């Protein structure tokens, strides 16, 4: 087994807690530090870009289900790949979530390209949103400048979704590969939000050059 594939602490913990991927802890850390999933008035609406296999979506659905006792939350998600639907009603590791969180009117998933206009329209029609999260990442080539450029295109698209479909006061949490024009993206976030920050969760692999940008309080 290659070193990169060896299950680590976060992978094993994700398995135990019923998430398909270790990436869930990056969102969890940001939520705990910055209060991203903070119920306000009315239905709390979240848009998850690059959502497969579905750990972030599940974290949002589980967290909002526990914070809003009687619904009041909605999640829309998109990915090129399908979700690992079996985790929606996960029962491994002694956790029993009862119902299928991926089923029902509180959740919408579209399999497609987030840069596609029809996909964008279907997500726009379900907004406006209180929070846009994007873990979208290109299939890496090993060429760092190509990978960084593609990641920036996706992160720029996520900022564009946020600019168009976030409510005033809403937040953005977006993955970006460090390098290239990444600082220019953070500058744009700072122009459009009351606060813009760079945040590298402890659960990111130490050798990874990914980081996350946050926009808090859309102007």
Ligand X SMILES: C[S@@+](CC[C@H](N)C(=O)[O-])C[C@H]1O[C@@H](n2cnc3c(N)ncnc32)[C@H](O)[C@@H]1O
Q: What is the 8-class DSSP label of residue 74?
A: E
Q: Which is nearer to ligand X, 190 or 201 (CB)?
A: 201
Give whichever of 56 and 109 is closer to ligand X, judged by the CB atom.
Answer: 56
Q: E strands along the chain, which residues?
A: 44-49, 73-79, 107-111, 129-134, 166-177, 193-199, 210-218
Looking at the Cβ atoms of 158 and 166, the one nearer to ligand X is: 158
- Asked whether the beta carbons of 185 and 198 are under 8 A apart, the reply is no
Q: How far is the CB of 157 from ligand X (least distance, A)?
A: 7
Q: How many CB atoms lie within 10 A of CB 105?
A: 7
Least distance in angstroms from the C-beta of 78 to ligand X: 5
Nearer to ligand X, 114 or 176 (CB): 114
Q: Which residue ranges make up the site for ligand X (CB under 6 A)?
A: 20-21, 23-24, 50-56, 78-81, 113-115, 135-138, 154
Positions annotated as catalytic residues are 175
- Helix, coil or strand: residue 124: helix
Q: Which helix (H) or strand (E) holds 84?
A: none
Give me the least distance between CB of 212 and ligand X, in Å please: 11
Q: What are phi and psi of 72, to 5 degrees?
A: 85, 15
By C-beta, is 53 or 215 nearer to ligand X? 53
Strands 73-79 and 166-177 turn out to be: unpaired
CB of 29 to ligand X, least distance (A): 13
Task: Please say whether the beta carbons of 87 and 61 come within 8 A.
Answer: no
CB of 27 to ligand X, least distance (A): 7
Q: How far apart are CA 204 and CA 212, in angstroms?
A: 10
Q: Kindly report the CA angle at 162 between 206 and 77, in degrees rounded to 5?
A: 75
For residues 152 and 176, what is the distance between their CA atoms, to the nearest angstrom?
6
């Amino acid at each position: 087994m290659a070193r990169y594939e060896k299950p680590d602490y976060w992978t094993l913990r994700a398995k135990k807690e019923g998430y398909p991927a270790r990436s869930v802890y990056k969102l969890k850390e940001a939520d705990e530090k910055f209060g991203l999933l903070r119920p306000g008035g009315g239905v709390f609406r979240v848009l998850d870009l690059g959502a497969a296999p579905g750990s972030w979506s599940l974290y949002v659905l589980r967290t909002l289900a526990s914070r809003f006792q009687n619904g009041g939350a909605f999640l829309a998600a998109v990915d090129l790949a399908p979700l690992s639907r079996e985790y929606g009603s996960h029962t491994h590791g002694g956790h029993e979530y009862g119902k299928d969180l991926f089923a029902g009117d509180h959740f919408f998933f579209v399999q497609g390209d987030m840069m596609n206009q029809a996909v964008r329209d279907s997500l726009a029609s379900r907004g406006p949103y209180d929070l846009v999260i994007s873990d979208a990442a290109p299939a890496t080539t090993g060429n760092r400048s190509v990978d960084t450029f593609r990641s920036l295109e996706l992160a720029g698209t996520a900022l564009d979704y946020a600019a168009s479909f976030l409510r005033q006061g809403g937040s953005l949490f977006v993955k970006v590969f460090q390098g290239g024009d990444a600082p220019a993206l953070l500058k744009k976030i700072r122009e459009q939000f009351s606060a813009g920050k760079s945040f590298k969760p402890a659960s990111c692999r130490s050798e990874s050059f990914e980081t996350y940008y946050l926009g808090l309080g859309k102007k």
